[in-house]
Amino acid sequence: MKPVSRFEELESGAPRVPVRFGGQEYQLAEGSNLAAALMAAGVDAFRQTSHRGVGRAPFCMMGACFDCLVLVNGETRQACLMEVETGLDVQPARRMREGPYASR
Amino acid sequence: MSSDFAIVGGGIVGLSVAWGLLKRGLGVTVLDGADDALRASRGNFGLVWVQGKGLKQPVYARWSQTAAAAWSDFAEELEDATGFDLSLEQHGGLDLHFSENSLADWAARYTKIQSILHGDYPFEVLSAKELRKEEPGIGDAVVGALLHHQDGQVNPLRLLRALAEEVRRLGGEILSGKQVLSVTHGAVFDLGCSDGSRIEADRVVLAAGLGAAELGPKFGFKAPLSPERGQVLITEKLAPLIRRPSLIARQVNEGAVQIGATNELVGQNDAVTRKGMAQLAAEAVAAYPDLARAQLVRSWGALRVMSPDGLPIYQESEQMPGAFLVTCHSGVTLAAAHARRLPEWLLKGEGAPDLEVFGEARFAI
Amino acid sequence: MHRVNLAIIGAGPAGMAAAAEAAKAGVRVLLLDEQATLGGQIFRNVEVGSELRGAVLGRDYRRGALLTDAVAKSDVDYVAKARVWSIEENHVAYSTPDGEYLVEADHVLLATGALERAMPVPGWTLPGVMTAGAAQIMLKQSGIVAREAVLVGSGPLLYLVAVQLVRAGFPPKALVETQTRSDMRRAMTHWRAAMRGWRYLQKGAATLNELRNAGVPRYVKSRNIALLGSRRVDAVHFSCGGAIHEMATDTVLLHHGVVPDVQAARMAGIEHHWNAQQNAFVPKVDPWGRTECDGVWIAGDGAGIGGAMSAELSGRITGLAVAHELGSLPRAERDRRANPLIGQRNVELSIRPFIDRAFPPYHEALAPEDEVTVCRCEEVKAGQIREAAEQGCLGPNQAKAFTRAGMGRCQGRYCGLSVSRILADANNRSMDDTGYVRVRPPLKPVTLGQVAALHDPNAPLEQAGGHD
């Protein structure tokens, strides 16, 4: 089910390509800003915080706040500094389980 | 008002001693420096470490072992009192080697100190294969490791915070932003501070790290201390990758991997350099290849407090009896010994540890 | 490693103007920017944006194309998507999608611009809350607008974004404004100076008119602002004129001014001092943009907030100064070209005292309640900073060790001023005495692999032998 977006896209010229976020597929405008496109597609939380595990979403859109962190190919990236490409498989940055030696 | 002890230095060394004295019912005033003072307590690697220490001076090896053995009890007491999790883990530590020669060389040194210490030096030489069984994330460049079972790690910032809280809770006074400039010794010690204030105490412990180099001679100490820079890198929080800490990297319980440290003689310069970062990163990636994709989030440079032979200095001033110099480069490891054993030495009580070899007599003038 | 005469960090108005001006004088310029296109935040995507976006964003925005054109037509070596992570003794290390680079530059110009002042109010970390600037960037870069945002705070950008939303066909639900009449009275004492910047006053009046005509409600002198919601924001709570409001919304845009982005300057070791009028730390620079660090310059909002026009002028002035230092421009020629620019910059800056007083930071966000998060990265609350102060922390570096505030990925960009302010208030000390969190590399996170790529095994560090 596609969530209702709180954003409106003024222009809809660019071709749509499939992008996965957290296992769900979205059709996003190719070449557009990944963070903006995901928010416009209805994504709320991009990452979980590391201590309290609460959701965060893009805050500054200019690469400074690090609240739009996602995982792409196992590497942590800022979604607001990425472009939509076909077939991107994006995971929200999740809280790491804290653990002592025994659990490693 | 005059207290029993003034401790010059509010880092881990000074606070550990303060805590120990307070536990024995003495009145303590801690004089701590400025926000931007050189602080090894904020910049260390967080190891509780025995291996490799005191290879030429077995008393130091023993003293480190005394500290390591006292740590779990010490941590528990601090944790119970403050509610902090110090994340102490003492399941052994690794010294990774990239060449068979260096591994064999160091194994031989450990065997020698082991026999001097009558066998109480529990270490193993791990082959590459054995090491990989213990540490699946290790890279092919590593040919083996020394595993020492008395080694471990702790969260040094929580230790600092817990000590600061406990010293206050036990009735100690911590005064911030106090740089001690002068001392006079009459009926009591009278310390003059940069803000114009004066602090009186019956006895003084100089635990001011590198600050003791300048201040020490005013108390009659040689205090031949010099800085050695260590640069450290910190990654983002990662899924479990490293089990036991090594001198190259350790994974803290929150998931971040801490990489270090350099040993540079560059004077009073605690900068982080691109060259240092690149070398640390290259070593860490060689040791744990998965780290190549980990994000480096922050770094720091801090200055170790080094005596000429690298050993701690414990010395009472001959010129001003009642003034003691306490300094070392392993304030975290030795914290438990400083808290538990040093007060007896300061108070010349029964069962005081014999710290003669750590006196300043060993330094030629 | 390659060599250039001038490496510029940041391709906003200051960086672009400096690049074009210096290149024109024959200087070899490398212009590095993290974004995919020229323009910085203020002129984001100005080269490639659609006509529709241009119409919504207005003439001041479209002007930016003059600068991007000037760079495009010059000999400037512009590198997009360049992540600068270290600046050390005239060497700049940066990472791009194509690989890792180290450049040696005779001069380095920091043109990293401004950040929106953090506005720690209850709930400001919830999804659905972003800065007004962020919403504007979404419009500039992606043509995406919030359907019914509530704008909260104060300042010219708040009105500008509101008007742009109106023009885009999605007027904001309301403006919840924090400035007061007495702020305006204080500002009016600077009216004479402000009149020199009459263009801005005129524009401001037109903007307010446009909002009025669109029927956007304004709640002036609002207090007790809290953003409500559990998994995302769903309402703004505030009191205004004796009434308590709870306004449903899914998007809150915060803004109460901008502050210099000092990260690079701090990392380079440049001295900063507290500027009470701007309520921010400002690096020490001379009128040419020269700092006390040899070969390091700062131009634009990073040297103190002046706005886009002033940034552009500063960039040109510094570009000329660097060209002169390099021997590419005689002193007389430098002065002949720079003097009118300096005069224009003074006119541009004349409005600032008025703006700073008319739209001061929201005081409740300068002294947040104990329960409010101030460090977004490490989730540290204001109360924890106050506790650290009680524990004897006089400044943000000891407080960082005690609380982890400022230790996260943003390295204090969004909590640095809040933490210093809370400590200064708690300890009853000045901002200068309290100081700022020490900034270390990396300026932006890079992978260990990227850093390791710069290691030269043939030139290892000189290291002391092992310890005993």
In this structure, is residue A100 part of a structural domain? Answer: no
**Is some CB atom of chain A closer than 8 A to the CB atom of B253?**
yes
Indicate if B252 and B296 belong to the same structural domain: yes
* Tokens (6 digits) for B123: 């270490």
Report the CATH number at residue B300.
3.30.9.10
Indicate if B211 and B344 belong to the same structural domain: yes
**Is some CB atom of chain B closer than 8 A to the CB atom of A103?**
yes
Chain B residue whose CA is closest to C466: B263
**Is some CB atom of chain B closer than 8 A to the CB atom of A104?**
yes
Instruction: With CB atoms and an 8 Å threshold, state whether A55 touches C133.
Output: no
Q: Is the Cβ–Cβ distance between C286 and C318 less than 8 Å?
A: no
- From the list C367, C364, C368, C357, the residue with the least C-alpha distance to C181 is C357
Name the domain boundary from B286, B306, B326.
B306
Indicate if B99 and B200 belong to the same structural domain: no
Indicate if B263 and B317 belong to the same structural domain: no
How far is it, in rounded angstroms, from Cα B226 to Cα C9? 37
How far is it, in rounded angstroms, from Cα B105 to Cα B189? 50
How far is it, in rounded angstroms, from Cα C421 to Cα C418? 5
Instruction: Kindly tell me the sign of the dihedral angle through the C-alpha atoms of B257, C124, C157, C339.
Output: negative
Extract the runs of DSSP E, i.e. beta strands, from C10-58.
Answer: 29-32
How far is it, in rounded angstroms, from Cα C261 to Cα B224? 42
Chain B residues in contact with A100 by the CB 8 A cut-off are: 87, 89, 253
Longest dimension (CA), chain B: 65
**d(CA A4, nearest CA chain B) in Å:** 33
> Domains of chain C by range and CATH?
2-115+259-329 (3.50.50.60), 118-256 (3.50.50.60), 367-434 (1.10.10.1100)
In this structure, is residue A8 part of a structural domain? Answer: no
**Is some CB atom of chain C closer than 8 A to the CB atom of B55?**
yes
Instruction: With CB atoms and an 8 Å threshold, state whether C36 touches A83.
Output: yes
Chain C residue whose CA is closest to A33: C142
How far is it, in rounded angstroms, from Cα B338 to Cα A47? 43
Which of A75, A76, A100 lies nearest to residue B89, judging by beta carbons?
A: A100
**Is some CB atom of chain B closer than 8 A to the CB atom of C458?**
no
What's the Rg (C-alpha) of chain B?
21
Identity of residue C412 = G
Chain A residues in contact with C447 by the CB 8 A cut-off are: 75
Helix/strand/coil for A92:
strand
Is the N-terminal amide bond of B223 cis, ω within 30° of 0? no
Question: Which chains pack against A, by 3+ Cβ pairs within 8 A?
Answer: B, C
Q: Is the Cβ–Cβ distance between C34 and C264 less than 8 Å?
A: no
Backbone φ, ψ for residue B121 (5° rounding)? -160, 75
SS3 assignment for C105-174: EEEEEECCCEEECCCCCCCCCCCCEEEHHHHHHHHHHHCEEECCCEEEEECHHHHHHHHHHHHCCCCCCE
Instruction: With CB atoms and an 8 Å threshold, state whether C468 touches B275.
Output: no
* Tokens (6 digits) for B342: 């040093």
What is the domain range of residue A36? 17-95
In this structure, is residue B182 part of a structural domain? Answer: yes
What is the residue-level pLDDT of chain C in tens, covering all 468 positions? 799 999 999 999 999 999 999 999 999 999 999 999 999 999 999 988 788 888 899 999 999 999 999 999 999 999 999 999 999 999 999 999 999 999 999 999 999 999 999 999 999 999 999 999 999 999 999 999 999 999 999 999 999 999 999 999 999 999 999 999 899 888 988 888 888 888 888 999 999 999 999 999 999 999 999 999 999 999 999 999 999 999 999 999 999 999 999 999 999 999 999 999 999 999 999 999 999 999 999 999 999 999 999 999 999 999 999 999 999 999 999 999 999 999 999 999 999 999 999 999 999 999 999 999 999 999 999 999 999 999 999 999 999 999 999 999 999 999 999 999 999 999 999 999 999 999 999 999 999 999 999 999 999 998 886 555
Report the CATH number at residue A68.
3.10.20.740
Name the domain boundary from B132, B149, B166.
B149
Chain A residues in contact with B238 by the CB 8 A cut-off are: 96
What's the Rg (C-alpha) of chain C?
22
In this structure, is residue A35 part of a structural domain? Answer: yes
Which of C91, C404, C451 lies nearest to residue B296, judging by beta carbons?
A: C451
Report the CATH number at residue B25.
3.50.50.60
Q: Is B223 left (phi over 0), alpha (psi -120 to 50) or beta?
A: left
Indicate if B113 and B249 belong to the same structural domain: no
Structural domains counted in chain B: 3
In this structure, is residue B82 part of a structural domain? Answer: no
How far is it, in rounded angstroms, from Cα B179 to Cα C220? 49
Q: What share of chain B is helix, strand, coil (3-state, %, to 5)?
A: 35, 25, 40
Contacts of B290 (CB under 8 A, 6+ apart): B137, B241
Which of C56, C376, C378 lies nearest to residue A65, judging by beta carbons?
A: C376
Site of tokens 């490409």: A85
C-alpha to C-alpha distances, C384 to A55, B11, B155, nearest whole angstrom: 21, 20, 19
| Strands laid side by side in the B226-237 sheet | B249-251, B256-260, B226-237, B295-306, C446-447
In this structure, is residue A104 part of a structural domain? Answer: no
Structural domains counted in chain A: 1
Q: Which residues of chain B are under the pLDDT cut of 70? A: 1, 365
Helix/strand/coil for C296:
strand
Name the domain boundary from B149, B165, B187.
B149
How far is it, in rounded angstroms, from Cα A102 to Cα C330? 69
What is the domain range of residue B276? 226-306
| Confidence at residue B225, expressed as pLDDT on a 0 to 100 scale | 97
Q: B47-48 and B152-153 as β-strands: parallel, antiparallel, unpaired?
A: antiparallel
| Confidence at residue C48, expressed as pLDDT on a 0 to 100 scale | 82
Kindly compute the dihedral angle of the four CA atoms of residues B44, C453, C439, C289, in this order, to the nearest 10 degrees.
Answer: 150
Instruction: With CB atoms and an 8 Å threshold, state whether C50 touches A62.
Output: no
Extract the runs of DSSP E, i.e. beta strands, from B213-275.
Answer: 226-237, 249-251, 256-260
Chain C residues in contact with A60 by the CB 8 A cut-off are: 115-116, 130-131, 133-134, 414
Chain C residue whose CA is closest to B160: C402
In this structure, is residue B84 part of a structural domain? Answer: no
Q: Is the Cβ–Cβ distance between C173 and C145 less than 8 Å?
A: no
Site of tokens 């979403």: A57
| Confidence at residue A1, expressed as pLDDT on a 0 to 100 scale | 43
**Which residues, in sequence order, are bridge partners of residue C129?**
C252
- Interface confidence: ipTM more than 0.90: yes
* Tokens (6 digits) for C334: 């430098």
Instruction: With CB atoms and an 8 Å threshold, state whether C468 touches B285.
Output: no
In this structure, is residue A48 part of a structural domain? Answer: yes
Chain B residues in contact with C462 by the CB 8 A cut-off are: 264-265
* Tokens (6 digits) for C143: 């043509």
Question: Which chains pack against B, by 3+ Cβ pairs within 8 A?
Answer: A, C
In this structure, is residue B187 part of a structural domain? Answer: yes
- Is the pLDDT at A96 greater than 80, yes or no? no
In this structure, is residue A43 part of a structural domain? Answer: yes
| Confidence at residue A97, expressed as pLDDT on a 0 to 100 scale | 60
- Side-chain half-sphere CA neighbours of B60 within 13 A: 22
Site of tokens 């450990």: B110
C-alpha to C-alpha distances, C196 to C155, C188, C354, nearest whole angstrom: 19, 13, 11
In this structure, is residue B298 part of a structural domain? Answer: yes
Extract the runs of DSSP E, i.e. beta strands, from C292-395.
Answer: 296-298, 373-375, 380-381
Q: To which H or E segment does residue C176 belong?
A: strand C174-177
In this structure, is residue B88 part of a structural domain? Answer: no
Indicate if B137 and B267 belong to the same structural domain: no
Indicate if B206 and B192 belong to the same structural domain: yes
How far is it, in rounded angstroms, from Cα A8 to Cα C72? 32
Q: Is the Cβ–Cβ distance between C221 and C240 less than 8 Å?
A: yes
**Is some CB atom of chain B closer than 8 A to the CB atom of A8?**
no
C-alpha to C-alpha distances, C25 to B129, B295, C19, C176, C321, nearest whole angstrom: 63, 40, 10, 48, 11
- Determine the distance from the C-alpha atom of residue C49 to the mean position of all C-alpha atoms in its chain, rounded to a whole number: 22
Instruction: With CB atoms and an 8 Å threshold, state whether C145 touches A10.
Output: yes
Instruction: With CB atoms and an 8 Å threshold, state whether A74 touches B293.
Output: yes
User: B residues 318-337 near C, CB within 8 Å?
Assistant: 329
In this structure, is residue B105 part of a structural domain? Answer: yes
Helix/strand/coil for B340:
helix
Q: Is the Cβ–Cβ distance between C306 and C352 less than 8 Å?
A: yes
Instruction: With CB atoms and an 8 Å threshold, state whether A44 touches C127.
Output: yes
Q: Is the Cβ–Cβ distance between A73 and A98 less than 8 Å?
A: no
How far is it, in rounded angstroms, from Cα C91 to Cα C102? 7
**Which residues, in sequence order, are bridge partners of residue C107?**
C6
In this structure, is residue B206 part of a structural domain? Answer: yes
User: A residues 22-41 near B, CB within 8 Å?
Assistant: none
Indicate if B45 and B137 belong to the same structural domain: no
Give the CA angle between residues B67, B73, B78 to the nearest 5°. Answer: 105
Indicate if B180 and B295 belong to the same structural domain: no
- From the list C137, C141, C145, the residue with the least C-alpha distance to C50 is C141
- Side-chain half-sphere CA neighbours of B48 within 13 A: 30
- Is the pLDDT at A102 greater than 70, yes or no? no
Which of C141, C408, C447 lies nearest to residue A36, judging by beta carbons?
A: C141
| Strands laid side by side in the C235-240 sheet | C223-228, C235-240, C243-248
Q: Is A74 left (phi over 0), alpha (psi -120 to 50) or beta?
A: left
Helix/strand/coil for C77:
strand
Indicate if B231 and B300 belong to the same structural domain: yes
Instruction: With CB atoms and an 8 Å threshold, state whether B282 touches C461.
Output: no
Mutation target among B297, B304, B313, B362 for the C interface, most CBs of C within 10 A:
B297
